């Protein structure tokens, strides 16, 4: 496909990044989550900074009107961290909201109008019943053609999974190997909603049975647990509970600066050298459900702008709202050939110590998926890994000079891809 060569009029870098703890918090609303992330991000700026230097704020949020009945949240958030009267702009792109917000922040710096920009992603999802939460999330699919047919997101991604299985022979076990890997990574991330491997979750479940004096299940290994229809029920075949990311609360913040002033904030900035965004038809209209066209196009744009190839990318955070989504992503991004993503996951190629580590943060699956925050939170992980600050889950034995994030809205109606560079 033809992609016009695009160039930013000036360079942009991340000079600070952090997130709130992700989880389900009864006592916290969106404002609290944002304030936590902003405070943590301030501490992550090596040389410190005066918040008054922030000239504009872009924030991603998918559905606060539904989750908290608060619209026009942008100026309220600005006010809670003292950023009134700065320009603050809310971007909604379903689960890609903060990935797209980062892109707008980058463009606003490149435009010459802003030098220092805060980007935030925020979502508080756990205040409603499970039924209402499912309804709110499903607003992101085409209500005229998909919603009225009864689709919710597990069903839509299940359709993609069965298409992938049919075309490429992808197996349910390959899907679940994505969840196993991402929980292994999340177990090493103290901010993750599931700071636990699937084996840990299984052990806790056995311990709870014992505490209650119930007969303990006979699971010996993770796969016993994952194949148990009660422990890991089918949500929408072939997707089972552990194929699905959770409902989460959380926020993430990034500080962007123009390239020429980035080193005022840190000697170790992470440069954003590629950005791409694209749209696609709703799922029911697509000729092919085994790939996401918007992801392929956004990736091509970002690779072209950055002047790098898929094989140059050392680590990536990709949008694993469901396990099938990670497999499709690794193919759409050119890391593996179409159809080879399932096998790659099963064989450990995307493990933290494999040749192409994917979702070292735990991904949406284990870290959590507060939808409007996920795109920005992906970059928090990239920031840490590229600077060698990822602690127990640091990818070792290689120079992480190039990294990528991939953030998807709905079933791929929106996709945004960013490429990052660390310079010596």
Query: Binding residues for a second copy, per CB under 8 A?
Result: 4, 6-10, 29, 55-56, 62-63, 65-66, 68-72, 74-76, 78-79, 83-94, 100, 103-104, 106-108, 110-114, 139-144, 147, 275, 277-282, 285, 293-294, 297-298, 409-410, 413-414
Residues 6+ apart with CB under 8 A from 184: 197, 351, 352
Closest CA to 157 of 415, 416, 411: 411
Q: Specify the residue, 89 or 396, whose C-beta has the smaller distance to a second copy.
A: 89
CA dist 310 and 175 (Å) reads 22
Q: Which of these is catalytic: 164, 183, 319, 369?
A: 369
What is the nearest approach in angstroms of a second copy to the Cβ of residue 236?
19
Read off the tokens for 317: 């955070």
How far does Cα 250 stand from its chain's mean position? Answer: 12
Q: Specify the residue, 153 or 242, whose C-beta has the smaller distance to a second copy.
A: 153
The b-or-e profile of 244-277 (16+ CB within 10 A means b, else e) is bbbbbbbbbbbbbbbbeebeebbebbbbbbbbbb
Contact 142, 82 (CB under 8 A): no
Q: Determine whether 369 is an active site residue.
A: yes
- Max alpha carbon distance in the chain (Å)? 66
Read off the tokens for 415: 């996709």
Q: Which of these is catalytic: 95, 253, 321, 415?
A: 95
Q: Specify the residue, 263 or 286, whose C-beta has the smaller distance to a second copy.
A: 286
What is the nearest approach in angstroms of a second copy to the Cβ of residue 147?
8
Q: Specify the residue, 55 or 401, whose C-beta has the smaller distance to a second copy.
A: 55
Contact 299, 293 (CB under 8 A): no
Backbone CA torsion sign across 238, 240, 242, 245: positive
CA dist 326 and 307 (Å) reads 24
Q: Specify the residue, 89 or 221, whose C-beta has the smaller distance to a second copy.
A: 89
Contact 196, 370 (CB under 8 A): no
Q: Determine whether 244 is an active site residue.
A: no
CB atoms within 10 A of CB 324: 28
Eight-state DSSP code of residue 217: P
Closest CA to 64 of 29, 89, 21: 29
Contact 291, 281 (CB under 8 A): no
Q: Specify the residue, 16 or 105, whose C-beta has the smaller distance to a second copy.
A: 105
Torsion angles phi and psi, residue 12, rounded to 5: -135, 145
Torsion angles phi and psi, residue 45, rounded to 5: -85, 110
Closest CA to 116 of 309, 228, 269: 269
Q: Specify the residue, 117 or 178, whose C-beta has the smaller distance to a second copy.
A: 117
Contact 365, 320 (CB under 8 A): yes
Q: Specify the residue, 94 or 161, whose C-beta has the smaller distance to a second copy.
A: 94
Closest CA to 266 of 97, 51, 44, 40: 44
Question: Hey, which residues are catalytic here?
Answer: 95, 369
């Amino acid at each position: 496909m033809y992609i016009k060569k695009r160039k930013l009029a000036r360079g942009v870098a991340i000079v600070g990044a952090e997130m709130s703890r992700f989880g389900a918090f009864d006592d916290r609303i969106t404002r609290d989550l944002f304030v936590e992330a902003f405070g943590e991000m301030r501490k992550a700026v090596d040389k410190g900074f005066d918040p008054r230097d922030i000239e504009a704020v872009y924030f991603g949020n998918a559905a606060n009107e539904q989750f908290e009945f608060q619209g026009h949240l942008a100026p309220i958030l600005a006010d809670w961290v003292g950023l009134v009267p700065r320009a603050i702009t809310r971007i909604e792109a379903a689960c890609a909201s903060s990935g797209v917000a980062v892109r707008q922040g980058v463009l606003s710096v490149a435009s010459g109008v802003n030098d220092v920009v805060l980007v935030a992603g925020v979502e508080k999802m756990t205040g409603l019943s499970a039924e209402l939460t499912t309804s709110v999330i499903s607003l992101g699919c085409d209500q005229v053609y998909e919603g009225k047919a009864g689709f919710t997101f597990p069903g839509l991604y299940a359709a993609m999974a069965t298409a992938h299985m049919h075309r490429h022979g992808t197996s349910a076990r390959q899907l679940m190997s994505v969840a196993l890997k991402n929980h292994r990574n999340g177990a090493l991330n103290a901010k993750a909603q599931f700071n636990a491997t699937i084996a840990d979750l299984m052990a806790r479940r056995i311990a709870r049975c014992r505490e209650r004096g119930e007969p303990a299940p006979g699971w010996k290994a993770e796969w016993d647990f994952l194949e148990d229809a009660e422990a890991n029920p089918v949500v929408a075949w072939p997707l089972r509970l552990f194929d699905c990311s959770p409902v989460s609360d959380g926020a993430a913040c990034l500080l962007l600066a123009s390239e020429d002033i980035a080193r005022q904030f840190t000697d170790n900035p992470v440069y954003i050298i590629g950005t791409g965004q694209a749209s696609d038809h709703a799922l029911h209209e697509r000729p092919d459900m085994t790939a996401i066209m918007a992801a392929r196009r956004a990736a091509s744009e970002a690779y072209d702008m950055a002047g790098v190839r898929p094989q140059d990318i050392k680590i990536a955070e990709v949008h694993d709202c469901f396990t099938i989504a990670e497999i499709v992503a690794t193919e759409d991004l050119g890391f593996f050939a179409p159809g080879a993503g399932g096998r790659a996951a099963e064989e450990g190629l995307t493990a933290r110590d494999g040749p192409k580590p994917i979702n070292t943060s735990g991904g949406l699956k284990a870290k959590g998926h507060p939808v409007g925050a996920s795109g920005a939170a992906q970059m928090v992980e990239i920031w840490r890994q590229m600077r060698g600050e990822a602690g127990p889950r640091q990818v070792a034995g290689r120079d992480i000079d190039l990294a990528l994030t991939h953030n998807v809205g709905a079933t791929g109606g929106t996709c945004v891809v960013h490429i990052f560079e660390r310079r010596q």
